[in-house]
Each structure stands twice: as C-alpha cells, then as structure tokens.
Structure 1
Amino acid sequence: MKSLLNTALLFTLVCFNSQAQTTPTEQEVIKLSMDKWKWMADKDIAKLTPLFDPQAKFVHMSGTWSTARELEIIETGSIWYKNADVKDTAIEIVGNTAIVWNRIALTANVRGNDVVTEFTVTEVYQKEGSDWKMLALTFSSVRDTHQIEK
C-alpha cells in the first residue's frame, strides 16, 4: 500500500512539474496544435483556413505543397488524417515565433487504404496580432523509438 501511495505521489509531482514548466503562451500554442489534429481528422476546413497562413508550406513524404493544396487534400479526403496519436510534444518560443515538435503515430487513409506511420511533425507558427498562424508543417518519418530531445 505504501509503495502504491509513493508511486501515485511521484506521478502527481511529475505531471505537475511538467505542466509547471510550460508558459501560458506555450500552453496556448500546444492546445492550438492539438486542436489542429482534430480539425484535420474532422476535415474542418472552416477552422483550418484561418490557422494556415496563405503562404505556408506543407512537407509530406510524397511532396511539398501550398496551403491551398493542403486544404484541398483535406477537404476531398485524398489524404484523410483520421487520427494523430500524439506521444510526445516539445515547444520553443522565439520572439513571436513558436516551433512545435509532435511525435505521433498517424492513422491516415491514403488512396483508400488505412496506414499507420510514425512521424515527428515540425510545426512553425507566428503570432499575428492576437492570432497564431501556421507557416510550415513538416512530416519526418521516424522509428517508433524516436524521442524528441528537450
């Protein structure tokens, strides 16, 4: 029983400590990043359009394209980002720029087939007024043992 209580206390301290290390701005951008994965899965173009800067670039395993093309791909479902299982996240803020790294297992439907691929996704956001705009999203294929150095 004592061991169980010690484990629970340690878990609580680790969770509290990891949350205490992020600033409100970092928490805001991380939440936006997590929301983006849901909006992509839901093919919610109305929410994604104001998030993606018109000049943003999207780097995938099969190519690099513009915001307009990414939105078209999401809307038509030619790549359906069904679920991004986020395993780890790191963030750095430099001035009005935020860089987010998410290590994910992405379940996507591509050309009618469901595939699961491990990625580290790099997202670059820039603060414009009171809003964050995504400038870049890059998928890097990684092994399932890959870790983000913080």
Structure 2
Amino acid sequence: MKTYLIGIGLLFLSISVSFAQSGVEQEIKELSKAKWQWMADKDVGKLEPLFDDKSKFVHMSGTWKKDRELEVIETGSIWYKNAEVHDVAVEIFGETVILWNRITLQAVVRGDEVSNEFTVTEVYQKQDNSWRLLALTFSSVRDVHQIVH
C-alpha cells in the first residue's frame, strides 16, 4: 500500500511539473509573439522593460546592447515590419528559457525593403516575477531549415 501511494504521489508530481512547464512554454511563446509585434510597431515603451539591461542582440550587420537595439527600433534604422513565424521550439532550464523561432522577416533596413529567413534564438530569464530577454540572435538559414524539437 505504501509503495502504491508513493507511486500515485510521483505520478501527480510529474503531471503537475509537466503542466507547469507547458504553462511556462505557452507564456514564453506568447511573450515572443508580442515582442515581434512591439518591434513591428516600434513600441520601445513596451520593449524597454522586457530587454534586460545587459541584453545582447546579434544581427547580420553587428552585435550591440539594449540601448542601441532600442535606438535602432525607435529610429527605424531596422524596421521589423513583420515576422512570419513558421516553427517554435522551447526548452526550460529552471528560471531560464530558450526559444527558437524559424521566421521569414520582412524588414526595412536603412531604407531598403528586405525579406530573409532566420532562426532566431531568444533567451529569457524570470526576474522578480517577470520575464526579461537576455539575448536575441538572428542566424541566417534557408527556408527548408527545421528546428529540432
């Protein structure tokens, strides 16, 4: 009987951990989707508290920190018009989450309209009950690329 109760307890524990992870996974997916929209809208007011003060952004043309990324977005130096998300994978590591998006990005870069396929790696960390973006990296890929789940 004791073994049976321990087994039932472990089953409930694994189910609750699974639901908690899927809840975090969904929360991060929704946050990432909102982030793409805020970038398209050039809404630095919503992006500023999301981006950690030490965050880094890796683009095809360079790497920079939070202040420069916000400036790039606000001035339209890069206008992220639309990120069409094709695939998403999420891994949870305690209070840190990594999200991979495979996207087609429609953007205006220094006045030129462009379309590129990317895998975008986003690293989030829970800090004081809210998620902060620590890193965002664009990796150029072909449209046949698939994210490993």
Question: Which TM-score tier does this pair reach, normalised by the shorter chain?
Answer: 0.7 to 0.9
SS in 2 for 1:23: helix
- What is the aligned partner in structure 1 of residue 146 from structure 2? 147
In 1, Cα distance between the equivalents of 2:54 and 2:107?
25
In 1, Cα distance between the equivalents of 2:38 and 2:69?
13
* 1:112 to 2:101 alignment: no
Identity across matched positions, percent: 65
In 2, Cα distance between the equivalents of 1:101 and 1:66?
20
In 2, Cα distance between the equivalents of 1:129 and 1:27?
19
User: RMSD between aligned alpha carbons?
Assistant: 1.0
SS in 2 for 1:93: strand
Cα deviation for residue 113 of structure 1 reads: 1.1
Cα deviation for residue 85 of structure 1 reads: 0.3
Structure label with greater radius of gyration: 2
Counterparts of 1:68-87 in structure 2, within 5 Å, are 68-87=67-86
- What is the aligned partner in structure 1 of residue 48 from structure 2? 49
The number of aligned residues is 130
- What is the aligned partner in structure 2 of residue 101 from structure 1? 100
Structure 1 stretches of at least 4 aligned residues deviating more than 2 Å after TM superposition: none
- Which residue identity lines up with residue 35 of structure 1 in the other structure? A
* Structure 1 gaps, min length 5: 1-19
For 1:58-91, what per-residue CA distance to the aligned partner results, in whole angstroms no more than 9, with x for missing partners? 0000110000000000000000000000000000
In 1, Cα distance between the equivalents of 2:112 and 2:58?
21
SS in 1 for 2:42: coil
- What is the aligned partner in structure 2 of residue 125 from structure 1? 124
In 2, Cα distance between the equivalents of 1:25 and 1:66?
26
- What is the aligned partner in structure 1 of residue 38 from structure 2? 39
Cα deviation for residue 130 of structure 1 reads: 1.1
* 1:23 to 2:9 alignment: no
* Structure 2 gaps, min length 5: 1-18
In 2, Cα distance between the equivalents of 1:143 and 1:114?
19
In 1, Cα distance between the equivalents of 2:59 and 2:81?
16
- What is the aligned partner in structure 1 of residue 136 from structure 2? 137
